[in-house]
Amino acid sequence: MDERTRATRLLEAQDKAAELFDAISARRMVRAGITERELSDEIRDLAAELLGVTRHWHKRIVRAGENTLETARGNPPNLTIADDDIVFVDLGPIFEEWEADFGRTFVLGDDPRKLALRDDLPRIWNAGRDFFDRHPEITGADLFDHVVELSEAAGWHFGGVIAGHLVGQFPHENIPGDKIESYVAPGSTHPMRRKDRSGNQCHWILEVHLVEPDRRYGGFHEELLDLPGPNAQTLSR
């Protein structure tokens, strides 16, 4: 498959993921009184009904309150979403064997600090992408360090152990050698603009996980890093 077709398929998958998040927002599915697991199941059913999604390449993640401090690797207790809560949703739906990875943060109520964190997420994400665009030889470690710096400059802690990863046709391959080279993370020292062992261009997700300085809550934002297309950054409510 040629590179233009691969890029088109990845962008189409992301567009459909954005459509799903539009529907989640429009239907006000993120609400008080429902558990994280119940909301995850409702989103699963909506994705199947609306877009025919039957598989996700990573577990569906819905985190509320103190659970927003947890990374994707964690398995915290199932919380009930509360009034004035902060919630993030991280989904990896598969569309015709192409992976999307999309994350957004929702705030219930009008807490100014939670709203500020939510609004800083896309701003920092875009600043990270701008840095990537300006540095042709950038490594995963370089980008991770810069996103951490951006987060701290905005008054937050960076809550992730990575700031992104490879994405592609399901299941995406790890680059040969140390697994860390598949991530935007410390120790990932190969240029991000490279080809995989099949000769295909590597494509990347950038993710930003911000944590409030007193570690009471956090938020999350992710999407495709290296392909042009409409950015859905306003999808945060």
Q: What is the mean pLDDT of the chain?
A: 92
Q: Where exactly are the structural domains of the chain?
A: 3-224
Q: Domain 3-224: give its CATH architecture.
A: Alpha-Beta Complex (3.90)
Rounded Cα distance, 96 and 8, in Å:
12
pLDDT digits (tens, 9 = 90+) for 6-42: 999 999 999 999 999 999 999 999 999 999 999 999 9
Phi, psi of 10 (to 5 degrees): -65, -40
Q: Which amino acid is at 134?
A: R
**Contacts with 187 (C-beta within 8 Å, 6 or more apart), sequence order:** 141, 178, 180
Answer for the pair 95, 15: CB distance below 8 angstroms, yes or no.
no
pLDDT digits (tens, 9 = 90+) for 151-198: 999 999 999 999 999 998 866 655 555 589 999 999 999 999 999 888
**167 to 104, 204, 222: CA distances (angstroms):** 18, 6, 12
Q: What is the pTM of this model?
A: 0.92
**Percentage of the chain lying above the pLDDT 70 cut:** 92
pLDDT digits (tens, 9 = 90+) for 74-133: 999 999 999 999 999 999 899 888 889 999 999 999 999 999 999 999 999 999 999 999
